[in-house]
Structure 1
Amino acid sequence: MVFSLPDEMERMSAALRREPATQATADALDTNMGRFRSQWTKDRQMRGNQLPLPVPRNQGLHPNGCELQASYLDFQFEWKEEEGTPWRAEYQVRVEGYLDAGETLFDLQDHWRLDTDMYAPSRRTTVDGGNPSKEPHPLFHFQRGGHAQDAFSAADFLPAAPCNIAGVWRGLMQSPGPRIPVIPLDPVLAIDFCLSQNDGTIWRRLRNFPEYFDLVESAQARLWLPFFAQLQDQKFRRTWFGPSMLV
């Protein structure tokens, strides 16, 4: 499959400009387009940082009373023709907000990611320095957290030890799992997916534009139809689902 991902990103930017809520996303794509083209021409990779997204709707938020300010997408996508599927498809979403608790102001962040297990059994001979994971990692999977969360929680993070706030407090805890298998995304489909999760109303307005709809439909057919066809092969299923897959 030969395609020009930078051309697709230009089409995505033009479609996003039709919706006021995604103007900033389009601006970021245009600003980085030269770098995207250089990366793709050199080694069929594309990496982007701090791509602004509309903030999620104010629904089901924790802690109670918090306000959202911004949302960003970082991504790294790598295509290898001989693989038939992306070699790397990683997307990290960061949502920023705050909680005004009177005399105390809490800086808040949420993080989720679509990740690639670069050290899957089928890849250990080609990735230097990799150690097999203790828990089964699907090749492409959804997971909470990520590098941005590690950086955010490295300093002045509450709750954390040591802590000089007396008494017993309740807080939400996050563990690494579960790692849920997902369909691989290219950057076009990742932007579409993130928009759908952050604000379905904005996403539906975009999909009513023929140029946006056609772009996403084309990307799905290009990436997903061959992927679904390969799921008929047992070896491919085991590669995608990881060690948990037996059939």
Structure 2
Amino acid sequence: MSKHALAGKVVVIGGGAKNLGGLISRTFAAEGAKIIVHYNSDATRAAADAMVNHIQTAGGEAFAIQGDFTKVSDVENVFAEAKKRYGGIDIAINTVGMVLKKPIVETTEAEFDTMDAINNKAAYFFMREAGKSLNENGSIVTIVTSLLAAYTGDYSTYAGSKAPVEHYTRAASKEFGARGISVNGVGPGPMDTPFFYGQEQEQAVAYHKSAAPLGKRSKTGLTDIEDIVPLVQFLVTDGWWITGQTIFANGGYTTR
């Protein structure tokens, strides 16, 4: 990777306070990037403030901003505030998402609407605002899921609401490409975060840990967030020539 490739870059990170988004925030800040730490709810405010304090204590630049990305006005506000503070934006990474494991026949309309708003609508308008706001030669990355390549039940609203992001990625890469902006999706396997464990029973966890051929090289048998961050970092720096793609980073958990 080019030395100092992220130095001085302004980076909006949707869900940047904890888990995968938090590690991206810390890693990019350590490389000299200016970080906009987005968080969704009051419950995450302390984690967002702690992230900003960590970055600033280490000599970096960051600020936290709250927003419900199912509301387009909140997405607009995050990007507008980033531009107001730093004058421009170079990179936009969206890690926001929600998982639901439930049979189709048991899924309520309210659950469907919630999943669709968080995984589909929010991703679309995040990408839209990034397309409006990014400087030339910028990058957009959305975290999707390796279940897009799975033949399985029970995750219909999760994988189904992430599936449209693949086409948004292709369309945006075509539309923004003239400005040198790359647009990609990254599909991790089941990640070792609370996001995963809240939906899975012990037997299912054991299966997921056994499903990736490279699982024995992982600390947990699952996708470790430490293995996703370098890929995201590559895509927004040296990997700029890659665009319009959904990349499965999952140890072989699923493939096409």
Taking structure 1 as the reference length, the TM-score comes to 0.25
Report the structure number with the largest CA radius of gyration. 1
User: Higher helix fraction: Structure 1 or Structure 2?
Assistant: 2
